[in-house]
Amino acid sequence: MTTLNEQPAVTPTASRFSVQGLSKRFGNLVVADDIHIDLTPGARMALIGPNGAGKSTFVNLVTGLLTPSSGRIVLDGEDITTMSASRRVRNGLVRSFQVTRLFRELTVADNIRLAVLQERQQYMRLFSGLANTPGLDEEVQRILNELNIRDRASSLVHNLAYGEQRLVEIALVLALKPKVLLLDEPAAGVPDSESDLILEAVGNLPKDLAVLLIEHDMDLVFSFAEQIAVLVNGAVMATGTPQEIAHNETVRNIYLGKGH
Ligand SMILES: Nc1ncnc2c1ncn2[C@@H]1O[C@H](COP(=O)(O)OP(=O)(O)O)[C@@H](O)[C@H]1O
Ligand SMILES: [Mg+2]
């Protein structure tokens, strides 16, 4: 058996993010079972699977909230398997959360401004005036544009529709300058009438960003993804294009039902 150090380095251009043989056991329960996933720059992959399949566990493993039992996680050629969760974020591996963590009494622009400042670790600037921070407004505008919410910049978050609030959450994540973005159910709780907003926003994410979407909304999954991985009992039981997955008999039986 080789040690971690003897394994060949991964070239950054070939793979931005690579999960190699990742496993996690809780006693006898295997919740992640030899998972291999590769994201190239600009990848649009969806991870789907029934409840309890291990999707959240997978995100917790790769972001450093849980320690894997075995396997390797590589970001831009660097082994990050034992790196702290906060350093992974600084290195560009960023997740969005299902729970809302917006300042509801502030405007959309101020929420984003705070996130950009946090990324720059310039909390002290808050006390010397937000307007004096070089490039801050440009950065906030860039993010507002990326998510097509410029016309909401001056709105208080609590006045926004729920779907729009989810967009602002994605905006906060973009402020962290991700290279790899793990979107954890961005459409959860969003009414059907607003789900197009989310669809459009994830469709317009920066082209070179590698995105892994975890989502139950199959319309969103199938319109967004170029690749879909199906997780069942902690193991990837199929990977393929949306077409391949939609026509995979086993996947249909286990997961998709008659809809696709
Ligand atoms: N800390 C834990 N200890 C024991 N079992 C856990 C723990 N976290 C998750 N599990 C189990 O792992 C399995 C996968 O859960 P989860 O990752 O939440 O699935 P999903 O997000 O796909 O619905 C479930 O059987 C769950 O009960
Ligand atoms: Mg989950």
Tens of pLDDT, residue by residue over 40-93, are 999 999 999 998 999 999 999 999 999 999 999 999 999 999 999 989 998 999
Cβ–Cβ < 8 Å for 31, 61: no
Point out the ligand 1 atom lying closest to the alpha carbon of residue 231: 22
Cβ–Cβ < 8 Å for 16, 210: yes
Q: What mean pLDDT comes out for the span 232-236?
A: 96
Alpha carbon of 92 to ligand 2 centroid (Å): 22
Q: What is the DSSP string of 159-180?
A: GS-HHHHHHHHHHHHHTT--SE
DSSP type of residue 124: T
Ligand 1 contact, 52 CB (< 6 A): yes
Instruction: Return the CATH superfamily for domain 14-99+178-260.
Output: P-loop containing nucleotide triphosphate hydrolases (3.40.50.300)
pTM attached to this predicted model: 0.86
Q: What integer best gives the mean pLDDT of the chain?
A: 88
pLDDT confidence bin for 179, thresholds 50/70/90:
very high
Closest-CA residue, ligand 1 atom 16, reads 54
Ligand 1 contact, 44 CB (< 6 A): no
116-140 pLDDT per residue, tens: 988 887 555 555 555 567 789 999 9
Alpha carbon of 211 to ligand 2 centroid (Å): 17
Kindly tell me if the per-residue pLDDT of 111 is higher than 80: yes
Ligand at minimal distance from the CA of 57 is 1
Specify the pLDDT at position 232: 94
Closest-CA residue, ligand 1 atom 24, reads 52
Kindly tell me if the per-residue pLDDT of 217 is higher than 90: no
Cα–Cα distance, 106 to 160 (Å, whole number):
11
Kindly tell me if the per-residue pLDDT of 222 is higher than 90: yes
Ligand 1 contact, 56 CB (< 6 A): yes
Closest-CA residue, ligand 1 atom 9, reads 57
Specify the pLDDT at position 100: 66
Point out the ligand 1 atom lying closest to the alpha carbon of residue 59: 17
Specify the pLDDT at position 21: 98
Pocket test for ligand 1, best of 31, 47, 67, 233 (most atoms within 8 A of CB): 31
The burial of 205, by beta-carbon neighbours within 10 Å (0-12 exposed, 13-18 middle, 19 or more buried), is given as buried
Q: What mean pLDDT comes out for the span 188-192?
A: 88
Query: Which of 113-122, 162-171, 218-227, 251-260 is predicted with the least confidence, judged by mean pLDDT?
Result: 251-260
Kindly tell me if the per-residue pLDDT of 7 is higher than 70: no
Kindly tell me if the per-residue pLDDT of 235 is higher than 90: yes
Cα–Cα distance, 56 to 251 (Å, whole number):
20
Closest-CA residue, ligand 1 atom 11, reads 31
Specify the pLDDT at position 2: 44
Point out the ligand 1 atom lying closest to the alpha carbon of residue 234: 14
Rg (CA), the chain: 19
Specify the pLDDT at position 184: 86
Point out the ligand 1 atom lying closest to the alpha carbon of residue 60: 17
Kindly tell me if the per-residue pLDDT of 236 is higher than 70: yes
Q: What is the percent of the chain where pLDDT is above 70? A: 86
Contacts (Cβ under 8 Å, ≥6 apart) of 57: 24, 31, 32, 66, 234
Cα–Cα distance, 182 to 162 (Å, whole number):
20
Ligand 1 contact, 51 CB (< 6 A): yes
The dihedral formed by the CA atoms of 91, 96, 100 and 106, expressed in degrees to the nearest 10 = 60
Kindly tell me if the per-residue pLDDT of 29 is higher than 70: yes
147-175 pLDDT per residue, tens: 889 999 999 999 999 999 999 999 999 99
Ligand 1 contact, 55 CB (< 6 A): yes
Match 């729920």 to its residue by tokens: 162
| Ranges in the chain annotated CATH 3.40.50.300 | 14-99+178-260
- Max mean pLDDT range (110-124, 129-143, 208-222): 208-222
Match 């809302």 to its residue by tokens: 100
Specify the pLDDT at position 96: 86
Ligand 1 contact, 233 CB (< 6 A): no
Specify the pLDDT at position 128: 58
